[in-house]
A and B are shown apart, each in its own frame.
Chain A
Amino acid sequence: MINDTYYNRRYVIAGIAILVVAIYIIRLFSLQIIDQSRREKADNNALVRQPVYASRGLIYDRNDSLLVFNQPIYEVVIILREMGTDFDTLAFCQALQIDTVDYRLRLEQISDRRKNRGFSRYTPQVFMANLKKEDVSLLQERLYHFPGVSIRERTLRDYTYNGASHILGSVGEVNQRDLERDPYYHQGDYSGRDGVEKQYEVALRGYNGVEVLMRDNRGRICGSYHDGELDQSAVAGTNLHLGIDIELQLLAEAEIGEHIGSAVAIEPATGEILALVSMPGWDPKSLVGKVRGKNYSALLNDPSKPLMNRATQAMYPPGSTFKTLQTLVALHQGGITPNTQYPCNGPQSTPIKCTHHHGSPVDLGMAIEQSCNPYYWCAFRDLLQMDGYGKNNAAFRRRYELWREDIMRFGLGQKFEDSDVPDQKSGSVPSTKLYDRFYGKTGWKAITIRSLSIGQGEVLVTPLQLANQAACIANEGYYISPHLLHNDSTYLLPDKRHETGIDNAYFKIVKDGMERVMTHGTGRWHNIPKWHICGKTGTVQNPHGKDHAIFIGYAPKDNPKIAVAIAVENVGFGATWACPVAVKMIDLYLQKHYPELADEEEQETENKKQETDDESKE
């Protein structure tokens, strides 16, 4: 052929081509197969994992009245780095209807690490929060013009009623501790801060989903990745049904009104809380959104301590309401018999004097009805001295311990551990140790702790415990821990019954006495006879001012549907201030749910009696 001199050079040239391609194949192999790091880099480039917020569970009362629901709000979120240098600030401000001065100010605030600790130019920062749909609609339309800007939908809690604030609690942004404790949360998430919102946080919050979106080199969102294959949809939170009756709750709140106090109502058969009132409270709407921070600190600094849930955290001596338990325990332990009588005056009753007007000596029924202090002092003393004092006071102290154990079987001196009521205080039934510390083992006798006999002194209870005590009496010997959730069958399991171990017959005696309190005793002025209410008033001595008024009760007597406890601070007599609130609550609740239980005959007789009374007065 031609030019054979350089024949072999064809191989050099082909060799160069093969060499180049071989080098490139090796390079490709190392880039694509050996080094896997670029896959992640590519995902960081192009993918945005945007949370899809689960809608928080709604909260209803026992009658399916909606108490708490959600309201959508919008946040404008920016990633500064992606906004770029040619960001059209003016158009952005116009879309948001703010001026450029405002814009600069907000940017400064966001970038100030002292005010915004999580600031980064690379991560989404909230530029404006708590916006309504109409505030962001313009921006939404033009979003494509603004790289690095996105709109996030959030929800805020909203409330149907201005009440039940302590039970419901509130929702707020998670704090550093939550973030460390639960990896579910991310900065800026919301969680229940108190009340059932906190107690049932995990059920209510549901499960946030995630949307994997693609963004282009300028940070603009370009739709979902792989048609949403990697997305996880949000799982909405569970709706809660609470045992409370919102009408009953609001009535009690209105009745206590301007006073400081609390009211608790329980369904004795189930332990469900029908109302849990602590006054003063707050408007739940005031702790939502933008205004939350300001209003929360106002509540925190309020001297009347509205944030404290007095129904579960305030501790008072039970006063005369304690006599119901004293009666039961004394009978149970054999300190007295149903027929025991004590004189209401004279040396035996010293130093406790009777404050009421009735004959002497009194029997047990009369003692309850008339709340006779000397009777209970005598009964308590005789019970504790039943075994004598013994060597080193041992027999007396053992008896005291037995007494204490029986009292505590009513739920006193401890928290309800198997209950969903948050923030309980345990109250106190003083132990022998306490008195030993005060007086030495041999230094205290029945007379030393005589105040306990009438529910004053070192014994302390919460209104919740008082209501539970009423329920326990209504049930004639057992209680189910008071709880907030409606129709939660786990509370009805046999082992959830807390038995007092006291004979039903003794309860009948106490119930009779409590009924007489309402018909003939301290409660008679406010009674509504058709409901056969049983009650016991209490007036707690308050060294700092006017006495606290306390009342416990339940109705109807033989078919109990509602047990209540009321505590109103600094008002005076329980009969005057606490009893009427309880009666109104019982009336409303029974009229609404059990009108068939009304004893109209009884009411007629009473009405007639009152008419004749009125006539005779004229």
Chain B
Amino acid sequence: MNQRNNIWSGVDWITIILFLALAIFGWMNIYGAGYSFEQTSIFSFSNRAGKQFVWLLTALVMGFCILMIDEKTYDILGYWFYGATILLLLITPFLAHDIKGSLSWITLGPVSLQPAEFAKCFTAIAIAKYMGRYGYRVETWKDLVIPGAMVLLPMVIIMFMQKETGSALVFLAFLLPFYRQGMTGKIMVAGLVAIIVGVIVLKFNLLPDSVIDKFLQPHQKTRIEVLLGNKEDPTGAGYNVNQSLIAIGSGGFFGKGYLKGTQTKLKFVPEQDTDFIFCTVGEEWGFFGSLLVLLAYLAFILRLIMIAERQRDIFSQVYAYSVASIFLFHLTINVGMVLGLLPVIGIPLPMFSYGGSSLWGFTLLLFILLRLDASRVNKLY
């Protein structure tokens, strides 16, 4: 009884409020994106907003349950979770239905779930457990071999077995907690330089196509080329981005008003309630609304960093940085893509995009952190 009271008093309400605000605003915009000027209720199951509402409620129940579970569970069972996750990822392609070339979805009765969304969380726990071992320090690159492998394993499975490049790339987010724990910043700088070199190579065709084709799938190559302006393709690969920019650009300062956007309603923007949900915000709420949403995300992520910094044990800190980095990575890639600054990589905007797996995945990720954070006072290291 006493401990439960402690939990509620220790929970970081600011994070929960930001999480709820973004999730509810996202839910409204999913309704807006699916709205076709024929009024069906925001709660109706015939539209995605109605389904998202159910996902949201179950996510809250899930969050509540997580807060009730003892925080030591994750430290104790961390590797088991990780092992189970890797197993699940491995068998997923054999159970999955092919959805647009991706083998990452398994169907359980009425719902489809994407195990990759949960893999992030359990990978984070696993590396947190590893790095939180007594006496662990990142001093040479050798110290990062095992946590690096823990990250690479699910990444490789997701990329090559499940063909989900986007979800796989998210694991790059773990570079930030590594960095915080002492990985040399040169790796990140080197990575950045590699990207810049890659861009220059592709932009000016410095490598023969045969070499490039070994690294990139044809559609990925096209997406990058379109982004670099090497290819005009407004109806093909460039279509999504072009329509996305039109939708956002036509929003102006205050937007066209809720449920009044034409580009998103009339299906000019594809994937408008999932990966391109930010378009709906841009068109209907304008610069003003987009700004507020971006600032809310920034506040949310900075709050997570703050939480990470106030942890008293490495396990919690590594985990907290993992969570913050994953949110930041999703935000950066998703909004960058929608704004035409990054190539089209299909990953959801946290809390906003339609989808149960991703919402549950983020809830799991966040509420475990909130539980760890709430009970930090009990830690007597």
Report A's interface with B, CB cutoff 8 A. 1-3, 5-6, 9-10, 12-14, 16-18, 20-21, 23-25, 27-29, 31-33, 35-39, 41-43, 45-47, 214-218, 222-223, 225-226
Q: How far is the CA of A23 from the CA of B342 in the complex (A)?
A: 12
The answer to whether A32 and B295 have CB atoms under 8 Å apart is no
Known pairs A9-B180, A45-B263, A222-B36; A32 contacts B282 (CB<8 A):
yes
Q: CB within 8 A of B286: which of A10, A32, A46?
A: A32
Q: What's the least CB distance linking A420 to chain B, in Å? A: 48
Residues of B within 8 A of A32 (CB): 248-249, 251-253, 282, 286-287, 290
Q: How far is the CA of A135 from the CA of B302 in the complex (A)?
A: 66
Q: CB within 8 A of B268: which of A2, A9, A27, A46?
A: A46
The answer to whether A6 and B294 have CB atoms under 8 Å apart is no
> 29 A-B residue contacts at CB 8 Å?
A3-B181, A3-B314, A6-B182, A9-B180, A10-B180, A10-B305, A13-B179, A17-B298, A18-B302, A20-B332, A20-B336, A24-B336, A24-B341, A31-B245, A32-B253, A32-B282, A32-B287, A39-B250, A41-B246, A42-B250, A42-B262, A45-B246, A47-B262, A216-B266, A216-B268, A217-B266, A218-B267, A222-B36, A225-B262
Residues of A within 8 A of B305 (CB): 10, 13-14, 17
Q: In B147-170, which residues have CB < 8 Å from any A CB?
A: none
**A218 to chain B: closest residue by CB:** B267
Residues of A within 8 A of B317 (CB): 2-3
Q: Count residues of chain B with CB under 8 A from any CB of chain A.
A: 55
The answer to whether B250 and A25 have CB atoms under 8 Å apart is no
Q: Which of B297, B298, B312 has the most CB of A within 10 A?
A: B298
Q: In B62-105, which residues have CB < 8 Å from any A CB?
A: none
Q: How far is the CA of A46 from the CA of B176 in the complex (A)?
A: 43
Contact with A along B240-265 (1 / 0, CB 8 A): 00010111111111000000101101
The answer to whether A223 and B248 have CB atoms under 8 Å apart is no
Residues of B within 8 A of A216 (CB): 266-268
Q: Which of B243, B245, B250, B332 has the most CB of A within 10 A?
A: B250
Contact with A along B132-144 (1 / 0, CB 8 A): 0000000000000
B301 within 8 A of A: yes
B12 within 8 A of A: no
**A1 to chain B: closest residue by CB:** B312
**A224 to chain B: closest residue by CB:** B37
The answer to whether B248 and A31 have CB atoms under 8 Å apart is yes
Known pairs A5-B182, A14-B302, A31-B245; A39 contacts B295 (CB<8 A):
no
Residues of B within 8 A of A17 (CB): 298, 301-302, 305, 324, 328
B185 within 8 A of A: yes
**A44 to chain B: closest residue by CB:** B246
Q: What's the least CB distance linking A349 to chain B, in Å? A: 91
**A9 to chain B: closest residue by CB:** B180
The answer to whether B246 and A12 have CB atoms under 8 Å apart is no
Q: How far is the CA of A20 from the CA of B334 in the complex (A)?
A: 12
B367 within 8 A of A: no
The answer to whether B341 and A42 have CB atoms under 8 Å apart is no
**B305 to chain A: closest residue by CB:** A14
Q: How far is the CA of A16 from the CA of B1 in the complex (A)?
A: 41
Contact with A along B219-257 (1 / 0, CB 8 A): 000000000000000000000000101111111110000
Q: In B302-338, which residues have CB < 8 Å from any A CB?
A: 302, 305, 308-309, 311-314, 317, 321, 324-325, 328, 331-332, 335-336
**B311 to chain A: closest residue by CB:** A2
The answer to whether A13 and B266 have CB atoms under 8 Å apart is no
Q: What's the least CB distance linking A386 to chain B, in Å? A: 86
Q: How far is the CA of A225 from the CA of B256 in the complex (A)?
A: 12
Q: How far is the CA of A410 from the CA of B356 in the complex (A)?
A: 94
Residues of A within 8 A of B179 (CB): 9, 12-13
Known pairs A16-B328, A38-B246; A21 contacts B263 (CB<8 A):
no
Residues of A within 8 A of B277 (CB): none
For the A-B complex with A10-B308, A217-B266 known, give 17 more contacts whose Cβ atoms are closer than 8 Å: A13-B325, A16-B176, A21-B298, A27-B341, A28-B291, A28-B294, A31-B248, A32-B251, A32-B286, A36-B252, A38-B249, A42-B262, A45-B246, A46-B262, A46-B263, A214-B265, A214-B266
B339 within 8 A of A: yes
Q: How far is the CA of A43 from the CA of B266 in the complex (A)?
A: 12
Residues of A within 8 A of B252 (CB): 32-33, 36, 39
Q: How far is the CA of A24 from the CA of B335 in the complex (A)?
A: 8
Q: Which of A215, A216, A225 has the most CB of B within 10 A?
A: A216
Q: CB within 8 A of B287: which of A20, A28, A218, A223?
A: A28
Q: How far is the CA of A26 from the CA of B262 in the complex (A)?
A: 24
The answer to whether A13 and B336 have CB atoms under 8 Å apart is no
Q: How far is the CA of A10 from the CA of B317 in the complex (A)?
A: 11
